[in-house]
Amino acid sequence: MNNLISVFMNYKLNRLIEYGVVVYQNESPFIRRVFGSYFQTYIDNYYYGIFNTVDDDKYTEENLNSEFIGIMEEMLYDYKDYENKVSEEEYQNNVRIIKELKDIALLILPLDTLEIKDEESIPSVVDECVNKNITLKAYLDNRKEKLIKLVKDTYLMNKKIIDYENVDFTFREKKFLEVRDCIWVDLIPSIPSLEGYRKGLIDKVNQDETLAFSKLECLVQMLSHMILKNFLDKKETIKYFISLDESFVSRVGIDEKVQALVDNPMFQKYVYLAIPYNVFTKYKNAFSEDYHFAFTQDFSHINDIFQKVDAIYNEGFTNYMIVSDCRDDDRDYFINYKNEVMSVLVFEEE
């Protein structure tokens, strides 16, 4: 299963293309592909903070316009291959379309971030948005009702996704000492029917390898939902750390199902996959910098903790080491550890 944020963004991309088709009055495959290139660039910029042609990581209208010019020039360059494969008329017409749709796509984008209070307010909100732009209004002509219907359908689907709540599981958050922008998250069941069973039996079932991926999938999707909701609500999102079981790692690499599950730029920006340090040393070739990883280490039975910390630091692979356990006498060392490259995280005592 794909990451929930990716599913949401794919839906958003397709809806923006539908807006474009209505405005431009043309739904040919070529038109859809061109609109798709522009709107994917917008999603990369606005939602993911990914820029291809500007040396900046901030979303602004100026940066987006530069990105659109870049993708337009790229499409025009690629389309040169068709100059001798289609008629001169078709070639020149499609070149014109590539240029024209850049500006139309920019006109459509405000429809993606409309402030809608409820379903009943959609017609007036869309009407106000369209009337603000003479060019968009002229292109739309008498098809505003069709656009309103599309916006309404999009709003209802977005609301359904954002308002979803998992009643069977919930997060358990564990905080770190003196660090407020990082939280450890794991999954706990909130199913009333489990209350009659012994905790040991429940834990044994939950540790079964056949359930490991289902548990990870549920945790990732719930966390993705929260990250997405925070972004849409313009709330600050912190860094989250979740455990990646050794069963998903081999000398070949990270399990493909896990890669597909966490393969989303927004998710990867905020979530670190925590692995025991010994798993990393065992399967070094399995790990790449495509994802954020953190090392966990139990120091409770290690005599030379300084040598172990230095070894982890010298790997140069992660910015975070999490102390899963340690002796009381060593606790202050980890709490006060300072380094510009790697931070040491110590759990608050429960």
State residue 210 phi and psi, 5-degree precision.
-70, -20
pLDDT at 165: 79
pLDDT at 198: 53
pLDDT at 9: 96
Does the pLDDT at position 162 exceed 60?
yes
What value does the mean pLDDT take over residues 308-317?
Answer: 95
Quote the CA–CA distance of 339 and 304 in Å, as a whole number: 19
DSSP 47: T
Q: What's the chain's Rg over C-alpha atoms?
A: 25
pLDDT (tens digit per residue) in 133-142: 999 999 888 8
What value does the mean pLDDT take over residues 185-204?
Answer: 62
Angle at 41 between CA 7 and CA 147, to 5 degrees: 70
Does the pLDDT at position 19 exceed 80?
yes
Are 64 and 107 contacting, i.e. CB atoms less than 8 angstroms apart?
A: no
Does the pLDDT at position 59 exceed 90?
yes
Return the SS3 of 322.
strand
Quote the CA–CA distance of 311 and 194 in Å, as a whole number: 43
Strand 271-276 vs strand 320-325: parallel, antiparallel, or unpaired?
A: unpaired
DSSP 108-174: HGGGGG---SSGGGHHHHHHHHHHT-HHHHHHHTT-HHHHHHHHHHHHHHHHHHHT---SSEEEEEE
Query: For the whole prediction, is pTM greater than 0.75?
Result: yes
The fourth-level CATH superfamily of domain 169-346 is EAL domain (3.20.20.450)
Higher pLDDT, 58 or 175: 175
Does the pLDDT at position 132 exceed 60?
yes
Q: SS3 helix, strand, coil % of the chain, rounded to 5? A: 60, 15, 25
Poorest-pLDDT segment among 26-35, 36-45, 194-203? 194-203
Instruction: Provide the residue ranges of all domains of the chain, joining segments of one domain with +.
Output: 4-162, 169-346
What value does the mean pLDDT take over residues 108-123?
Answer: 94
Does the pLDDT at position 124 exceed 80?
yes
Residue 22, sorted as left (phi over 0), alpha (psi -120 to 50) or beta, turns out to be alpha
Higher pLDDT, 83 or 210: 83
Average pLDDT, the chain: 90
